[in-house]
Structure 1
Amino acid sequence: MGALWRGFTRMTSNKLTLFGMLILVFLVLVAAFAPLLAPHDPYAQDLGKRLLPLFSDGHVFGTDSLGRDILSRVIYGSRITLYIVALVALIAPVAGLLVGTASGYFGGVVDVVLMRVTDVFLAFPRLVLALAFVAALGAGIENAVIAISLTAWPPYARIARAETLTIRQADYIAAIRLQGAGAFHIITKHIWPLCVSSLIVRVTLDMAGIILAAAGLGFLGLGAQPPSPEWGAMISEGRKFILDHWWVATIPGLAIFLVSLGFNLLGDGLRDVLDPKSSSDD
């Protein structure tokens, strides 16, 4: 408990890290209390109030082309963003950890095959590969999550493999092996715990890219489908009016920017706490 508190204190002593943490806490609270915070129904249309400017007629962020309140849609869109981030953060690192530790521990043919598969995935830009998977699976938020997860796991596999190659040569691993411990026991009890800190840092730093990938799929109409208030889809709709009604696309764009900034700042703080080598280099 003392070590956790010291790490938390060290992380929050950095003002930028604390700012990033506050942004994400605010995002979680907004998503949790969306029905209480949203001033209007995010799906309610009123063509008589379409494209209202900021702070007009009870609409703080104006309205879109169908007269829907942009603030309410941004608030409810935070739920979709957290949903995507949470699922990808559960799927991609676990898949990468499994592949990376198996590759690094067993070596030989297993290592060659798994790393060549990883190289194939790394050879394609993430968004292009996600587009290919979504095109094969079909549009929808669940398929978008699967597609992003399929493109996000290779870096985690590389990190887990590098950590495993270092750990498996340690003397205490050799001693455990001499005591009769099997590969499964060594990997799950002694290698995975030491890989987790590096993966946590990478996950936090990757969240911004995941949010942008999800927004990109939504922008192209391959993510969350209308009338879901997904931020990328809102930007796609607002681009038609960007010159005369800039707020329709700008407000959800600013939401994506702030959340991505929060994850990046928090990731830098976690890296300093969980990776002693990087903090010592600084």
Structure 2
Amino acid sequence: MTTPVSAASEQGWKAWLTSDKPRSRLQARCGRAYFIWQRFAENRLALAGLAILLALLFVAAFADVLAPHSPVQGDLRNARLLPPGSAGYLLGTDDQGRDILSRLIHGSRLTLFVVALVAIIAAPVGLIVGTIAGYAGGWIDGVLMRITDIFLAFPKLVLALALVAALGPGIENAVLAIAITSWPPYARIARAETLTFRNSDFIAAVQLMGASPPRIVLSHIAPLCLSSVIVRVTLDMAGIILTAAGLGFLGLGAQPPLPEWGAMIASGRRFILDQWWVAAMPGFAILIVSLGFNLLGDGLRDALDPKEAGQ
């Protein structure tokens, strides 16, 4: 039961967050974050996507505790290609007698590893290239955007396949290849946002104060472009997961015996008619995680949209 003191404290915090006249920069930032969360929480599908992502993080963090069996060692004599629901094997086993559930649980770590590294590499590169091109203009803009167009001219999966083939198979090379093919859309978005801010009054005021172009780009323009880039990165996570799974399916991603979901589908395609669960279970995991990122990205797009904020 809520006590009068706690209720008053809650009302005080809400009034502090929703104040029209914030007294500090911290209060203004907290208030903006509160309004964004309110708009995000109104979208039930976005909350479902957030719940899927949090569940994925929980499973990856406690994979050693949650997995009932070893993800790389199986029982070829007694547990080969057992159907779901068998004793001790909730989702069945593969052709090596390994527990599919345990491999899916440990494979979530590889999925998060790929997603996190691609976001850490590709998003800052695209943001910096786009903001520099948009603010500098002239020949710098032309050169940077033509380089971006070259990368955009190739299908992402085809370019990633070529890069991995040149670098060699492996999860690290797959991550690098996906990151190299993922930054151009972020550069385009950052450049478009920068063009709307470049001639603004506050940028002119910062210039009159003597700020250098690198400081203007990094401290004033890039933070304004960050929300749009974050939304695009979140929406691209599903495509990144599918690209990584495709590389794993072709044998160019994570190498056996690592429990990568795409590689699991590749090993199970030989049994798709009779032992369908070997390929279907990792495919279902990819579907659920990709759906979660898409729902989360849609919710963030609506919550961070300034047009929605004014309604």
Equivalence for 1:32: 61
Over the matched positions of the two proteins, sequence identity in percent amounts to 67
- Matched with 1:192 is 222
TM-fit CA distance, 1:147: 0.1
Answer yes or no: is 1:60 the counterpart of 2:90: yes
Partner of 1:21: 50
How do residues 54-133 of structure 1 correspond to structure 2 at under 5 angstroms?
54-133=84-163
Q: CA deviation at 1:170?
A: 0.5
- Distance (Å, rounded) in 1 between the aligned partners of 2:214 and 2:224: 15
Deviations 1:89-115 (A, max 9, x none): 111010101111111111111111111
Q: Tell me the secondary structure at the aligned position of residue 64 of structure 1.
A: coil
Instruction: Indicate if the aligned counterparts of 2:303 and 2:309 stay in contact, CA closer than 8 A.
Output: no
Whether 1:8 and 2:17 are equivalent positions in the alignment is no
Contact 2:46–2:299 (8 Å) recurs in 1: yes
- Given that 2:118 and 2:175 are in contact with CA atoms closer than 8 Å, whether structure 1 keeps it comes out as yes
Q: Deviations over 1:123-164 (max 9, x none)?
A: 111100000110111100000000000000000000011111
1 CA distance for matches of 2:220 and 2:36?
22
Provide the rounded CA distance (Å) in 2 between the counterparts of 1:12 and 1:180.
42
Q: Is the 8 A contact 2:151 2:184 kept in 1?
A: yes
Which amino acid in the other structure matches residue 32 of structure 1? Answer: A
Task: Summarize the alignment of residues 226-241 of structure 1 with structure 2, pairs less than 5 Å apart.
Answer: 226-241=256-271
Which amino acid in structure 2 is aligned with residue 228 of structure 1?
L
Q: 1:139 to 1:198 in 2, by over 3 A?
A: same
What is the aligned partner in structure 2 of residue 257 from structure 1? 287
**What does residue range 160-179 of structure 1 map to in structure 2 within 5 Å?**
160-179=190-209
Q: Which has the larger radius of gyration?
A: 2
- What TM-score, normalized to structure 1? 0.97
**Range with bigger deviation, 114-123 or 5-14:** 5-14
Conserved? CA contact 2:75–2:98, under 8 Å: yes
Q: Secondary structure at the match of 1:221?
A: coil
The answer to whether structure 1 residue 144 and structure 2 residue 166 are counterparts is no
Cα deviation, residue 276, structure 1:
2.0
Letter in 1 for 2:167: L
Q: What is the deviation of 1:57? A: 2.1
- State the Cα distance separating 1:180 from its structure 2 match: 1.4
Letter in 2 for 1:174: A
Equivalents in 1 of 2:61, 2:206: separation in Å? 46
Question: Any idea what the Cα deviations from partners look like across 1:54-98, whole Å, max 9, x if unmatched?
Answer: 011210000000000000000000000000000001110101011
Q: Which residue of 1 aligns with 2:232?
A: 202
Which residue is equivalent to 2:189? 159
Code of the residue aligned with 1:59 in structure 2: it is Y
More deviation in 125-134 or 178-187?
178-187
Residue 65 of structure 2 aligns with an amino acid whose one-letter code is L
**How much does 1:281 deviate?**
11
Tell me how far apart the structure 2 counterparts of residues 281 and 240 of structure 1 sit (CA, whole Å). Answer: 55
SS in structure 2 at match of 1:95: helix
Looking at structure 2, the residues matched to 121 and 68 of structure 1 have their Cα atoms a distance apart, in angstroms, of 40
AA in 1 matched with 2:36: G
Look up the equivalent residue of 1:101 and give its one-letter code. Answer: T
Q: Give the whole-Å Cα distance in 2 for the aligned partners of 1:199 and 1:255.
A: 26
Which secondary structure state, in structure 2, belongs to the residue aligned with residue 92 of structure 1? helix
Residue identity opposite 2:160 in structure 1: A
TM-score w.r.t. length of structure 2: 0.88
Consecutive unaligned residues of structure 2, counting only runs of 5 or more, are 1-29
For 1:86 and 1:155, locate their aligned partners in 2 and report how far apart those are by CA, in whole Å. 17
Query: Equivalents in 2 of 1:14, 1:97: separation in Å?
Result: 28
Amino acid at match of 2:69: H
Measured in 1, the distance between the counterparts of 2:225 and 2:32 equals 18
Between 1:165-174 and 1:208-217, the stretch displaced more is 165-174
Q: CA RMSD in A?
A: 1.3
What is the CA–CA distance in structure 2 between the aligned matches of 1:188 and 1:136, rounded to whole Å? 34
